[in-house]
Amino acid sequence: MTKSAEDELVFLPLGGSNEIGMNFNLYGFGPPHARKWIVVDLGVTFGDQTTPGVDIILPDPAFIEEHADDILGIVLTHAHEDHIGAVAWLWPRLKAPLYATPFTAFLLREKLREAGLLDAARITEVPLGGTITLGPFQVTLITLTHSIPEPNGLAIRTPLGVILHTGDWKIDPDPLTGAAPDEAAIRRLGEEGVLAMVCDSTNVFVDGEAGSEAKVRATLGALIGQLKGKVAAACFASNVARMDSIIRAAEANGRRVCLVGRSMIRMSQAARSVGLLSGLAPFVSDAEARKFPPENILYLCTGSQGEPRAALSRMADGSHPHVKLGQGDACVFSSRIIPGNEIPIRNLQNKLADRGVRLYTERDHPGIHVSGHPCRDELKRMYQWARPRIAVPTHGERRHLLEHAALAGDLQVPQTIAPRNGDMVRLAPGEPAVIDEVRAGRLYVDAGMVTPEHGEALRERRHAAVNGVLTICVALDGRNQIVSGPEVRALGMPGGDDNRLADTLDDLAGEARGAMGHLPNGDRDDDRAVEAALSRVVKKAAFRIWKRRPVVETTVLRV
């Protein structure tokens, strides 16, 4: 690999910096007018109460889409949704080759098949520890541990230096699925000289270490052995080691296992495609599971985060067609609460408790879950192994990134920089610095369509959710005289059961009729003028009555 005096090495996060999730990172090399790029991860985040009707949120690829011909490849570190979930949505805009290890490639193919892109997109399977050469970038995969099979750090070699991009990781000496972290490879990188380490910040505020999956297996085995009745266990479907532990604990205690939830079934298929989940009894279907005595069945479920359409939520609602939980049964939550999901999880757990289901969570049984991200002691060890000249925290909110930068400074890392999404960071030559700011917004998946972050539909939906909706309808004859109405109807407006709302709507209709009376006959020929007059008077009256500005929709009928 050669270099010229004009060459620069830059890092550009378009997602995952100043937030946890939606990872989308770019590395560029070459002169500013002719950079070549690689993409590392292309993930999603999920909607919340601020995005009504939107479940999936994508990073906006507008900047790199303009340079799509210069993308040499999209390298995926592992198969979590916040790292691969946007590929099927955004690949048609980028159309670059995809690189992933076998487990990730299996799940990626399923996503592309569902999107009708499997024949168009080119996926190259890379063996664990393998190397990819993409123009001036030589990318070597480094085995790490996380809460999913085959997590990889990336050693990215360029003519201007080596970058260690950690992806998501932890240090688990006994990970149950896959090998322990390749400490030797990282130490060799440190000897070679690491220009910059771009590193996970999720648990930077947590002292100590995340903990091992082996200890979780022992704790789950002891707990499940004590439970009576039917048992439901909820975990992240992607945590195959946790699935394996729960299944083996069930079998050791005379229970067969029923997988409940589409993603749980899909992950088990992906795991078996790479030799995991072996030596287990066949799973039983949810229809077959009903025939087993309660003490001989365990349901392994999706929905630990309170997702309304997931299997566990349907069980809590009593709407699952095959699985019913009640008095004397148990539910084990072998997962953490993702920030922002506190309310739906609490609601889910209250519903289960109301049915007589005994709950077991990490709050009262701490050993049934461990994090997949590094705590402070693990971060310190990684810095000791890699010895980077520049620390670039990523995968965290602003407070995480700044704390991580401070920790790196305490560990004598010579230089730190904590970019926001859209900050183009020059790593070499010279001192690290933000040299440009590019667009780094979001796209919403709304009813299966990709829409802008500030699109009109969502803006109106938010407005209606807070302020309500009023509709006005009036019918005029050929002489512009009122035949019917104006009639006012409401959706989401305050009112009681004593007809106060109906009386208020009658008053609004009266004000609308008065506005029609003051409208010159000539203006009545123009439907838009009629709509504007009715809308104006009703909006003004609504604010006077409710101190709200509802969405007002007006219809003029000609009869």
Q: How many residues does the chain have?
A: 559
- Residues of the chain above pLDDT 70, percent: 99
pLDDT surpasses 70 at 445: yes
Q: What is the DSSP string of 497-515?
A: SSSHHHHHHHHHHHHHHHH
Segment (H or E) for 71: strand 71-75
Within a domain: 462? no
3-state SS assignment for residue 493: coil
524 lies in the same domain as 428: no
DSSP 8-state class, residue 192: H
Q: How confident is the model at residue 497 (pLDDT cuts 50, 70, 90)?
A: low
Q: Quick one: pLDDT at residue 464?
A: 86
More confident site: 420 or 476: 420
Within a domain: 524? yes
**Angle (CA) 542 548 549, round 5°:** 75
Q: How confident is the model at residue 145 (pLDDT cuts 50, 70, 90)?
A: very high
* Domain C-terminal end among 390, 419, 452: 452
CATH of the domain at 302: 3.40.50.10710
Distance CA 257, CA 280 (A): 10
- What distance, in Å, lies between the first and last C-alpha atoms of the chain? 78
- Residues of the chain above pLDDT 90, percent: 75
Q: How confident is the model at residue 495 (pLDDT cuts 50, 70, 90)?
A: confident
220 lies in the same domain as 120: no
Within a domain: 262? yes
Within a domain: 124? yes
Distance CA 175, CA 276 (A): 13
Average pLDDT across the chain, whole number: 93
State the amino acid at position 539 in one-letter form. K
Mean of pLDDT values over 412-438: 97
105 lies in the same domain as 26: yes
> Is residue 2 exposed (0-12), middle (13-18) or buried (19+ Cβ within 10 Å)?
exposed
Mean of pLDDT values over 453-478: 87
Q: How confident is the model at residue 526 (pLDDT cuts 50, 70, 90)?
A: confident
Q: Quick one: pLDDT at residue 347?
A: 94
Q: Quick one: pLDDT at residue 331?
A: 97
Lowest mean pLDDT among 140-144, 210-214, 245-249, 456-460: 456-460
Residue 198 domain boundaries: 8-208+371-452
Q: Quick one: pLDDT at residue 499?
A: 60
498 lies in the same domain as 443: no
Q: Quick one: pLDDT at residue 146?
A: 97
Q: Quick one: pLDDT at residue 261?
A: 92
Distance CA 112, CA 440 (A): 24
Per the CB < 8 A criterion, the answer to whether 419 and 395 are in contact is: no
Q: What is the pLDDT of residues 304-360, one digit of tens each?
A: 998 888 999 999 999 999 999 999 999 999 998 887 788 999 999 999 999 999 999
pLDDT surpasses 60 at 165: yes
322 lies in the same domain as 351: yes
pLDDT surpasses 80 at 496: no
More confident site: 336 or 16: 16
CATH of the domain at 536: 3.10.20.580
56 lies in the same domain as 143: yes
* Ranges 57-61, 499-503, 516-520, 549-553, most confident: 57-61
* Domain C-terminal end among 365, 382, 404: 365
CATH of the domain at 197: 3.60.15.10
pLDDT surpasses 90 at 448: no
Within a domain: 181? yes
pLDDT surpasses 70 at 455: yes
Six token digits for residue 376: 């402070």
145 lies in the same domain as 294: no
Mean of pLDDT values over 191-195: 97
pLDDT surpasses 70 at 2: no
> Is residue 200 exposed (0-12), middle (13-18) or buried (19+ Cβ within 10 Å)?
buried
293 lies in the same domain as 412: no
* Domain C-terminal end among 428, 452, 476: 452
359 lies in the same domain as 375: no
Q: Global pTM?
A: 0.89
More confident site: 476 or 198: 198
Within a domain: 461? no
Beta strands 161-165 and 256-260 are unpaired
Per the CB < 8 A criterion, the answer to whether 213 and 370 are in contact is: yes
Domain count, the chain: 3
pLDDT surpasses 80 at 505: yes
Q: How confident is the model at residue 295 (pLDDT cuts 50, 70, 90)?
A: very high
State the amino acid at position 8 in one-letter form. E
436 lies in the same domain as 486: no
Within a domain: 457? no
349 lies in the same domain as 386: no
Q: Quick one: pLDDT at residue 345?
A: 93
Mean of pLDDT values over 71-100: 97
Q: Quick one: pLDDT at residue 308?
A: 85
Six token digits for residue 173: 């000496």
Q: Quick one: pLDDT at residue 498?
A: 58
150 lies in the same domain as 264: no
Q: What is the pLDDT of residues 229-267, one digit of tens each?
A: 999 999 999 999 999 999 999 999 999 999 999 999 999
Mean of pLDDT values over 21-41: 96
Six token digits for residue 553: 């929709």
Per the CB < 8 A criterion, the answer to whether 412 and 386 are in contact is: no
Q: Quick one: pLDDT at residue 14?
A: 98
- The alpha helices in 300-386, defined as continuous H runs, are 311-317, 342-354, 376-386
pLDDT surpasses 60 at 412: yes
Distances in Å between the Cα of 433 and the Cα atoms of 10, 132, 428, 430, 510 are 10, 28, 9, 9, 65
Segment (H or E) for 517: helix 500-517
Q: Quick one: pLDDT at residue 4?
A: 77
Q: How confident is the model at residue 1 (pLDDT cuts 50, 70, 90)?
A: low
Instruction: Mention every residue, 6+ apart, whose C-beta is less than 8 A from residue 41.
Output: 16, 23, 24, 25, 75, 76, 77, 83, 84, 167
Within a domain: 2? no
